[in-house]
């Protein structure tokens, strides 16, 4: 079985500041990792994913994440945030041989002017 | 456009009633999923189906039922046995390593 822990439930930042949303996972086998974004009353949109290869993954809207196998982490970063980045962000994991996607509890990112 | 359609967007149910949430996809994906979302709890898996006429329970299947008679459709019934059904319900599909695609959700409220 796998699990995901998002270390911050809320992250407030000012516009144009950098941000990091932290995600740790637990699994006894190889995994795929995902970050999703959710705007109010909407579904989830894929930001980026790690399947294999380079540990630095670039996604949409200027976000990137780094897979760190030794620390079992997959932190999401953006060097300069915008008001429009205000949303809830979910980290998720699935085993490479499996089908179930397990989510973290989410991090609410609020960008203030 | 290919995608997932969840309907209705908002649904109200009286206590003791069953209600069915619709999920239709035209992506030709084999696997389909139902998740429940509550504030501060992330998304929890209710049921999933990897192929027509087959489905498995997720982590919180009690009080829910599903069917998968067609590849395109995976309806979820919230039965009267579900003690706390008020939540946001999300349907998703998956194909291989390409990741999961989500619908726009149905918000169910018990009145």
Helix-then-strand count for chain A, H and E: 0, 12
DSSP per-residue codes, A18-42: -EEE-EEEE-SS-EEEEEEEE-TTS
Per-residue tokens: B59: 């982590």
Among B100, B101, B107, B109, the residue to mutate for chain A (most A Cβ within 10 A): B100
At residue B83 the predicted structure's pLDDT band, cuts being 50, 70 and 90, is confident
| Residue bearing the bigger pLDDT, B100 or A84 | A84
Contacts of A49 in chain B (CB under 8 A): 99
> What's the CA gap between B59 and B101, in Å, rounded?
20
pLDDT at A84: 95
> What's the CA gap between B76 and B34, in Å, rounded?
8
Task: Note the pLDDT tens digit of each residue in B48-78.
Answer: 999 999 999 999 999 999 999 999 999 999 9
Q: Which among A42, A51, A103 has CB closest to B105?
A: A42
Per-residue tokens: A19: 């941000």
What is the phi-psi region of residue B65: left when phi exceeds 0, alpha when psi lies from -120 to 50, beta otherwise?
beta
| Continuous H helices in A1-113 | none
Torsion of CA B104, B55, B44, B80, to 10 degrees: 90
């Amino acid at each position: 079985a796998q699990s995901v822990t998002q270390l911050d439930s809320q992250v407030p930042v000012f516009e144009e500041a950098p941000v990091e949303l932290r995600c740790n996972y637990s699994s006894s086998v190889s995994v795929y990792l995902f970050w999703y974004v959710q705007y109010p009353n909407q579904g989830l949109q894929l930001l980026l994913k790690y399947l294999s290869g380079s540990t630095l993954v670039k996604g949409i809207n200027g976000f990137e994440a780094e897979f760190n196998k030794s620390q079992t982490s997959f932190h999401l970063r953006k060097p300069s945030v915008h008001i429009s980045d205000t949303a809830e962000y979910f980290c998720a994991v699935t085993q490479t041989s499996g089908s179930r996607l397990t989510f973290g509890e989410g991090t609410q990112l609020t960008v203030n002017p | 456009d290919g995608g997932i359609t969840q309907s209705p967007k908002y649904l109200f149910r009286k206590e003791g009633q069953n209600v069915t949430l619709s999920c239709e996809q035209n992506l030709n994906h084999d696997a389909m999923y139902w998740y429940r979302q509550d504030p501060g709890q992330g998304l929890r898996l209710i049921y999933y189906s990897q192929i027509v006429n087959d489905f498995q329970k997720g982590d919180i299947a009690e009080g829910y039922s599903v069917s998968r008679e067609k590849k395109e459709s995976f309806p979820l019934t919230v039965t009267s046995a579900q003690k706390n059904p008020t939540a946001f319900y999300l349907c998703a599909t998956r194909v291989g390593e390409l990741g999961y695609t989500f619908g726009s959700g149905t918000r169910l409220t018990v009145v």
